[in-house]
Each structure stands twice: as structure tokens, then as C-alpha cells.
Amino acid sequence: MKTVRIHEYGNADVLRIEETPVPQITADELLIKVHAASVNPVDWQVREGFYKDMHMHTLPLTLGQDFSGTVEKVGSSVKGFKIGDKVFGRPTLDRDGSYAEFIEVKANEVALMPNSITYDEAATIPVAGTTAWETLINKGKIQKGQRVLILAASGGVGSLAVQLAKNRGCYVIGTTSKSNIDFVRNLGANEVIDYTSQDFSERLTDIDCVLDTVGGEVQEKAFKVLKRGGVLVSIKNKPNQEMANRYGVRCEFVLVGPNAHILNELRNLIDMGQLHPVIDKVYGFNEVKQAQNYSQSGKAKGKIVLEVSK
């Protein structure tokens, strides 16, 4: 099968398309024929060696997280799946990824695809969707009527988070650049702030929950807008607990792994028309370098898709 692998850490030039053996599965696994993968920031971060000190990976490594595809083989102890099922999911970070024609995954890492969307659209959901759900619903515990601030609301996680918060009946505020204001408003945001010309920390107060996808100084400013008892949830870096104590708020750091239960929740929302995948660009398998470079530019509006097979 064709795979995209790295043998060393570095820029996009270290990406290689190679022929490798089709994986063998164990009793609790599925072999998936991959139709599409999405390109996430974590992919190029792994490529550049951001996680090498955590010893999660052994080189050479097949990159990629999100995938959609069809079940090719079913492990002997797996229940609930059959050959030909359309599925979507993600592997754990320490395994070979989805930039490949086939991937082996634990059965509890995948779910049946929504019926109402394409393979390309389904591939955009697992990482961003489970992250948005885990941060806002499981950690942020958002409730109807609360004020929720989504930082970088036009990105992969942000674009789904806006929709989830709106679906929960929250008053949603998003930050983005001027060119994406209408895009974020159309996702359902009640207010949109152009971060290039306005400082949200000087404009907002009484926020119940902040989803931080930016980190650094922006995260520090986010503490100021929270009401006492509010919560800041970050996927970028661990929030400052001392600062949280000073403002009388809660803070959480989230690193999300595979979660079939959340995927099933997201599938239901998608099929009910309450959550819509957002695709910015679609690249062919041979265009993987361009796809990762575009992701690394930070300009993506929604998600980037890598089509693996038709």
C-alpha cells in the first residue's frame, strides 16, 4: 500500500510517499481502507519533532490522525462492525497514522459514519469534533444561556465548537481575522471580534467559558473576561493555575484521544442537521507537502482534506 512516512524530523521535505505492507490486525482491531484523511496541526507538529521528547513515536512513522473509510477486515473478537461498513475515527498518537491506503485501529477508536455526509466531510470530524466536545461539554460543562468565547473560531476546532455551543443554547462569541468575520457569524456566532483590530479582553466581561486554541499571551488575557466561577479550557498549553486562583475561575488543559462515544454523539448531530463539517481545501494524496504547508500557514478556514483513495 502507499503511505506517507517520515524517517527524520524536519520540514515538509522529509515527507515520503512509500510502498509498505498492508497492516495485520489482532482480535480487537479493524482494518480500514482509507478514503480520506484530514490534515491537522498535530500532523506537522509531529513531523517537526514537537513530541519527540515524549517518546511516543518510532521512526519511520506514518503520519495522520483523522480518517474515513470502509471496513476491510474484522478482528475475531470485534462486535458491531462488518466488512463494508462506512466508518470514521482516529488512532492513538503513538501508532502509525491515516496517511495510508489502509490503517489498523482498535474497534473502540471508530464509529459508523454519519449517513448524510461524504467521506471527505467525515474525515474532518474525529480530531476537531472530539476536541470541541471534550473541551466545551465534558470539561467546560456549558449550559443553555451561558456566554461562551471561542478563540480562533474559524479554525478546525473553532468552527465546530461554535456550532456545538450554539446548539446547546449558548450566547457564542468568536474571535477571528477580518476576512473570516462573516464565515464565523454564519456558523452561528452571536458576536464576532476581529482580533487584528480589537482586544477582546477590553471589550468582554462575564464570560462563563473560554475555549483557548491559541495559548500564550492570548490565554492570559482570556482569564480577565471570565466571571468568577467560570472556566478556561485550553488545548494549546497548560493554563496558569495561580492566575486562575487570582480570578476565582477554573482552568483545564485537554489533550484528546480517540473516543467512539463522542463520535456517535457527533454523528447524531450531523445527521439531524445540527452540525456541519467545514472544508477549506481538498488535496490529492501526492499533494501532501502542499497540504501540510497550508495547515502550517495558519490560514485554513475549517478543515483540510487529503484524499487517499476514491
The domain that contains 95 carries what CATH number? 3.90.180.10
Distance CA 83, CA 107 (A): 13
For residues 135 and 192, state if they share a domain.
yes
Q: Are residue 247 and residue 139 in the same domain, yes or no? A: yes
Q: Do 40 and 150 belong to one domain?
A: no
Span 144-174, pLDDT tens digits: 999 999 999 999 999 999 999 999 999 999 9
268 in any annotated domain: no
The DSSP 8-state label assigned to residue 301 in this structure reads S
Looking at the DSSP bridge assignments, the partners of residue 208 are none
Average pLDDT, the chain: 96
The number of distinct structural domains making up the chain is 2
pTM for the structure as a whole: 0.94
Both 233 and 140 in a single domain?
Answer: yes
Do 48 and 155 sit in the same domain of this protein? no
- Same domain? 181 vs 229: yes
Residue 151 sits in a domain of what CATH number? 3.40.50.720
Instruction: Tell me: pLDDT of 54 over 80.
Output: no
**Are 121 and 132 found together in one domain?**
no
What sign has the CA pseudo-torsion 92, 93, 98, 104?
A: negative
Residues 63-118 pLDDT 10s: 999 999 999 999 999 999 999 999 999 998 888 999 999 999 999 999 999 999 99
Is residue 266 in some structural domain? Answer: no
Q: Tell whether 106 and 197 lie within a shared domain.
A: no
Residue 301's pLDDT band, with cuts at 50, 70 and 90, is very high
The answer to whether 45 and 9 are in contact (CB under 8 A) is no
Check: CB of residue 71 under 8 Å from CB of residue 31. yes
- Which one, of 131, 129, 55, lies nearest residue 94 by Cα? 55
Domain that holds residue 238: 128-253
Cβ(210)–Cβ(222) below 8 Å: yes
Contact by Cβ (8 Å): 165, 142: yes
Q: What percent of the chain has pLDDT over 70?
A: 100
Residue 151 lies in a domain: yes
Residues 116 and 163 both lie in one domain: no
In a domain, 270, yes or no: no
Residue pLDDT, tens place only, 213-255: 999 999 999 999 999 999 999 999 999 999 999 999 999 999 8
Residues 152, 75 share a domain: no
Span 8-37, average pLDDT: 97
Confidence of residue 57 (pLDDT cuts 50, 70, 90): confident
d(CA 277, CA 69): 16
85 shares a domain with 70: yes
Residues 111 and 135 in one domain: no
- Residue at which a domain ends, from 210, 238, 253: 253
Does 262 map to a domain?
no
